[in-house]
Structure 1
Amino acid sequence: MSQLEVRTRTTASGPVIELAGELDHDSAPGILGLLPGLAIEPGQQLVVELGGLTFCDSTGITVLIAARNVALAAHSTIALAAVPDRVSRFFSVVGLDQVFPTHATIQAAEAAWTPPSG
């Protein structure tokens, strides 16, 4: 059975999910279950921090796409932070680097967020 630590918090730019451990078939249901309950407002940004990931399979990629769909449905954006090199390489190969903006840190992702005007 895989181990995945999940921490969530809310910042001025929106919710942050920090993942550490294995994001795979065993751990995916837990993340998929928390996504609908995120307090994400229109114009905010969901940040998913992956720096602590030790493993991510295709089911983990599905979880990230589901997180993107939740953000888009809330009229918000998503950004990934601290993406491990091996995951980043995989994203490049399958074209997901064109789908997910990535940043070195959570702070960099938050700094890149532009609040909606109006």
Structure 2
Amino acid sequence: MSELSVTTRSGPNGPVVEVAGELDHDTASEVRALLSGLELRPGTQLVVDLTALTFCDSSGITVLLAARNHVLAAQAGMALSGVPDRVQRVFRILGLDQVFVTYPTVEDAVAAWPQQTE
């Protein structure tokens, strides 16, 4: 069984979701349900903190893409923070580095808003 911890808190621009552990086939549905259930208002920002992510497979990437679609439908913005190098490499290979806005830390993502919008 995959180990996963997800915590949500309010940030100055909108929700901050911290995902720690393995985001894979076994845990993707839990994260998808949480992210798609977030109430977002136009102009708010969702930050997904992946600093403590230890593994992410294609199911996890699909969850992040679904979250982005939810955010865009709400006319909000989304940023990823602390993306591990191995995941960042997969993003580059798949061209997702052109889809997701990433920052080293949650604080950097929050500080960049609203200068960086989707």
Q: Name the TM-score, length of structure 1 as normaliser.
A: 0.94
Following superposition, the deviation at residue 103 of structure 1 comes to 0.2
| Other structure's SS at 1:47 match | strand
Following superposition, the deviation at residue 39 of structure 1 comes to 2.5
Q: Which amino acid aligns with 2:61?
A: I
Match of 2:16 in 1: 16
Q: Which has the higher strand share?
A: 1
Following superposition, the deviation at residue 56 of structure 1 comes to 0.3
Following superposition, the deviation at residue 40 of structure 1 comes to 1.4
Q: Name the TM-score, length of structure 2 as normaliser.
A: 0.94
Find the aligned partners of 2:36 and 2:78 in 1 and give their Cα distance: 14
Unaligned 5+ runs, structure 1: none
Match of 2:58 in 1: 58
- Provide the aligned C-alpha RMSD in A: 1.0
Unaligned 5+ runs, structure 2: none
Match of 2:41 in 1: 41
| Other structure's SS at 1:78 match | strand
Match of 1:79 in 2: 79
Structure 1 runs of 4+ with >6 Å offset: none
State the aligned residue count: 115
Find the aligned partners of 1:104 and 1:89 in 2 and give their Cα distance: 15
Find the aligned partners of 1:26 and 1:15 in 2 and give their Cα distance: 24
Q: Among all aligned residue pairs of Structure 1 and Structure 2, give the percentage whose two residues are the same amino acid.
A: 59
Find the aligned partners of 2:103 and 2:26 in 1 and give their Cα distance: 27
Q: Which amino acid aligns with 1:43?
A: G
